[in-house]
Amino acid sequence: MWTALRHHGPEYLIEGVGTGVLLVAVGLFATLLEHPSSPVHGALPWPWLRRLLMGLAMAATVSALVYSPWGRRSGGHFNPALTLTFLRLSRVAPWDAAFYVLAQFVGAVTGLGLVRLALGAALTHPGVHAAATVPGPHGVPAAFVAEALIAFLLMTTVLGFTNRPQLNRYTGLVVATLLVVYITFEAPWSGMSLNPARSFASAMVGWLWSGIWIYFTAPVFGMLVAAEVYRRLARAHPVLCAKLHHDNHERCIFVCDYPRALDEASRR
């Protein structure tokens, strides 16, 4: 444990701070778009359009984090479900996974907590609910299935891009595109979480725990199923690393075959 902390502490810190930045963006944009007193909310009476703008804002934030020096170094997870899936794929060491997940949860709560301090009751207004992810009108079973499905598709896409050196650099852009689609069209079903730390932070700050178990289980379940399917069907493209964007010169702390695969691709 102490060896992992000493050698990989900067990556753990990056994951925590990056997840915090993500939740700051969630809180700020959710309040701007959904608070009844916001001029943006008043100018945009169509919920689908506000969800589209939220999706674009979150896609830009996630993309910026993944391609930033921070994301290039830590791997750009900022999501416990993603980290645990790469642990299952034997690309993240157990202690690294444990500290990544801890940092992500602490960072998420800290980030949204700072927004609560800055915006006060506006963030927890019933129209905003601290950007909580809760089951939609179709109920809990539909929310679970929807969350698991979008997590499955996201992880399948991540594995399809990260394990092909010629496509690796585009992973962040593809993930960002999926987020726009998910937030615009899937959010009415489950609130569109994909991220246990993100949902926990909103539930903690807004004290709205409805269906929280869904957001702890469905994203992990969906991503783990995607990993198992990928391992069985994509034998020509084995899992190389846990970094979302490996086409850079930052150090890598994971169990990594990306340099070897890149060298083999260059000799073909």
Answer whether 54's CB lies under 8 Å from 183's CB. yes
pLDDT of residue 248: 82
pLDDT tens series, the chain, 268 aa: 877 778 899 999 999 999 999 999 999 999 999 999 999 999 999 999 999 999 999 999 999 999 999 999 999 999 999 999 999 999 999 999 999 999 999 999 999 999 999 999 999 999 999 999 999 999 999 999 999 999 999 999 999 999 998 899 999 999 999 999 999 999 999 999 999 999 999 999 999 999 999 999 999 999 999 999 999 887 768 899 999 988 888 899 998 888 876 666 555 5
Answer whether 224's CB lies under 8 Å from 88's CB. yes
- CA-CA distance, 249 to 199, in Å (whole number)? 33
- CA-CA distance, 89 to 225, in Å (whole number)? 11
Beta carbons within 8 Å of 73's beta carbon, 6+ residues apart: 10, 11, 14, 250, 251
Q: Which SS3 state, helix, strand or coil, does residue 240 take?
A: coil
Beta carbons within 8 Å of 197's beta carbon, 6+ residues apart: 19, 79, 80, 101, 104, 105, 107, 108
pLDDT of residue 95: 96
14, two tokens: 């990056």
pLDDT of residue 247: 80
State how many domains the chain has.
1
Helix (H) or strand (E) holding 187: helix 187-190
CATH code, domain with 133: 1.20.1080.10
Full DSSP string of 57-80: HHHHHHHHHHHSHHHHHH-S---H
- Range(s) of the domain holding residue 250: 2-267
Full DSSP string of 88-130: HTT-S-HHHHHHHHHHHHHHHHHHHHHHHHHHTHHHHSTTTGG
Instruction: Return the biggest CA–CA distance within the chain.
Output: 60
